Amino acid sequence: MEQLSRFVSIRRDLHKIPELGFQEFKTQQYLLDYIQTLPQERLEVKTWKTGIFVKVRGTEPTKIIGYRADIDGLPVSEETGLPFASEHEGKMHACGHDFHMSIALGVLTYFAYHPAKDDLLFVFQPAEEGPGGALPMLESEIMQQWKPDMIIALHIAPEYPVGTIATKEGLLFANTSELFIDLKGKGGHAAFPHLANDMVVTACSLVTQLQSIVSRNVDPLDSAVITIGKISGGTVQNVIAEHARLEGTIRTLSAESMKKVKERIEAIVKGIEIGYQCEAAIDYGSMYYQVYNDEQLTNEFMSFVNEHTNVEVVRCKEAMTGEDFGYMLAQIPGFMFWLGVDSPYGLHHSKLNPDERAIDTAIHLLISYLEWKAAQ
Ligand SMILES: CC(=O)N[C@@H](CCC[C@H](N)C(=O)O)C(=O)O
């Protein structure tokens, strides 16, 4: 792997062209063009919507090992000032999927030249940030035909140094559900509030009331999060707003808490409708199943990394992040791990700037693990 810096430059190319879920057309073409440059003898390439499956035929296969990389960006306006910053206004690879893709291409490149004993399936998955590509990809004919016996994935972690990975057996990431609430009242002149039903005031009250759910209704030992990330409403400063919309996400460690949180949201929203004489509609958008790492495979991987590489392994706590890779792990044994990339700004931040040395670290680590695992 003498030319690893090539994958840094690939990462920079991909960083310039972030696209949202199921619109990853340029990204898909970039990946396909690169894959075309590899020796094709052992490769089978199939596209699925804006995603790609690449199977690398092993030398004496007895199983298929899957490796998944997500490929979409976020609706975030980049503020890194980097020379290779996003060229797509209002969109950014602020969750590191540019890293995920270039690492996957690095590993794929190695195995295209040096096949493993087993078959390897590389899954370039769209729409992880929403509305979710993992479940439909899993249910696709291609994945049913090439269903891996095990599958793994990584996610960059700004809070860990380069040269470190972090994971744990069992629950790693939370159950998630998006949350959209539309409020409709009565607009009017700013000077006559008694003749209108103001949805800006209603939205503010609703946001405050929602805060009581986590603190008062969820078992403190069973964590949950409700974040409203976007609030919009009204038209101009001297008109009372007829509409307002809240956009957010719910995270829970258990499925029971997710049910409870939703019941409480619905009750509070009913109260808002009565109290503020408005109409409210709730939409839960897309939901992701928790990421649950297979105990035996995860512990084996952590021991492998400790014994056979110079990468440091941290046994971390579970996080309230969500990942639709959880759907794959619900059907296929495997695991996910965090890759240290040491950025002062965190995931989803407009100044996220992961350390590119982590790309080489991950490629080397994955090649040695997959080669070893495929030989078993
Ligand atoms: C790793 C990561 O950051 N994943 C996202 C997944 C988002 C799912 C969905 N759009 C939601 O907001 O519920 C995350 O925000 O955790």
Identify the domain containing residue 245 by its residue range.
175-287
Q: Does this complex have an ipTM over 0.90?
A: yes
Q: How far is the CA of 249 from the centre of ligand 1 (A)?
A: 8
Q: For residues 229-251, give the mean pLDDT.
A: 98
Does residue 323 line the site of ligand 1, with CB under 6 A?
A: yes
Q: How far apart are CA 171 and CA 294, in angstroms?
A: 9
Residues 249 and 199 both lie in one domain: yes
Residues 184 and 150 grouped into a single domain: no
Asked if residue 134 has its Cβ within 6 Å of ligand 1, the reply is no
Q: For the chain, list the strands marked E by DSSP.
A: 43-48, 51-56, 64-70, 119-125, 150-157, 164-167, 170-173, 175-184, 188-189, 224-233, 239-240, 243-252, 279-283, 287-288, 291-293, 312-315, 334-340
Q: Is 307 found in the same domain as 267?
A: no
Residues 211 and 336 in one domain: no
129 is catalytic: yes
SS3 281: strand
Residues 270 and 320 in one domain: no
CA 226 to centroid of ligand 1, rounded, Å = 12
Residues 322/288, Cβ–Cβ less than 8 Å: yes
Instruction: Let me know whether 282 and 295 are in one domain.
Output: no
114 has binding-site annotation: no
> Residue type at 146?
W
- Indicate if 256 and 305 belong to the same structural domain: no
Is pLDDT at 2 greater than 90 in this prediction? no
CA distances in angstroms from 233 to 7, 96, 185, 201, 237, listed in the order given: 44, 31, 11, 10, 11
Residues 241 and 359 in one domain: no
> Would strands 279-283 and 150-157 be described as parallel, antiparallel, or unpaired?
unpaired
Span 182-224, pLDDT tens digits: 999 999 999 999 999 999 999 999 999 999 999 999 999 999 9
Q: Are residues 181 and 231 in the same domain?
A: yes
H runs (alpha helix) in 168-242:
199-216
* 308 belongs to an annotated ligand binding site: no
Same domain assignment for residues 230 and 189: yes
Mutate to test the pocket of ligand 1, among 323, 325, 341 (most ligand atoms within 8 A of CB): 323
Q: How far is CA 198 from CA 182, 205, 354, in A?
A: 13, 11, 43
Total count of domains within the chain: 2
CA of 177 to the centre of ligand 1 (A): 9
Identify the domain boundary among 287, 313, 330: 287
Co-location of 152 and 124 in the same domain:
yes
Distance 288 CA to ligand 1 centre (A): 8
Length reported for the chain: 376
State residue 1's pLDDT score: 45
CATH of the domain at 344: 3.40.630.10
Sorting pLDDT into bands at 50, 70 and 90, what band is 75? very high
Coil, strand, or helix at residue 138?
Answer: helix
Over 80: is that where the pLDDT of 32 sits?
Answer: yes
| Residue 125 and residue 100 in one domain | yes
347 lines ligand 1 (CB under 6 A): yes
* Average pLDDT of the segment spanning 140-155: 98
- Separation between Cα atoms, residue 255 and residue 185, nearest integer Å: 33
Instruction: State the Cα–Cα distance between residues 240 and 235, nearest whole angstrom.
Output: 8
Q: For the residues 69-79, what does the mean pLDDT come to?
A: 98
* Mean pLDDT for the stretch of residues 229-257: 97
Task: Provide CB contacts within 8 A for 129, sequence distance 6+.
Answer: 20, 21, 72, 73, 74, 95
Which is the closest atom of ligand 1 to the Cα of 321? 16
Residue 289 DSSP symbol: -
Ligand 1 lined by 197 (C-beta under 6 Å): no
Q: Which of the listed residues 225, 256, 287 is the one where a domain comes to its end?
A: 287
pLDDT at 63 over 90: yes
Q: What is the CATH number of the domain that holds 260?
A: 3.30.70.360
**Ligand 1 contacts CB of residue 294 (under 6 A):** no
User: Is a pLDDT exceeding 60 seen at residue 11?
Assistant: yes
* Residue where a domain stops, chosen among 231, 253, 287: 287
Looking at residues 263-278, what average pLDDT do you find?
Answer: 98
Question: In this model, does residue 122 exceed pLDDT 90?
Answer: yes
In the annotation, is 98 catalytic? no
CB–CB of 11/85 below 8 Å?
no
Pocket test for ligand 1, best of 129, 287, 348 (most atoms within 8 A of CB): 129
Instruction: Give residue 5's pLDDT.
Output: 85
Residue 184 DSSP class: E
pLDDT of residue 254: 94
pLDDT digits (tens, 9 = 90+) for 35-58: 999 999 999 999 999 999 999 999
pLDDT, averaged across the chain: 97
Supply angle C-alpha 288, 292, 294, rounded to 5: 145
CA dihedral (149, 46, 112, 1) in degrees, to 10, reads: -90
**Ligand 1 binding pocket includes 321 (Cβ within 6 Å):** yes
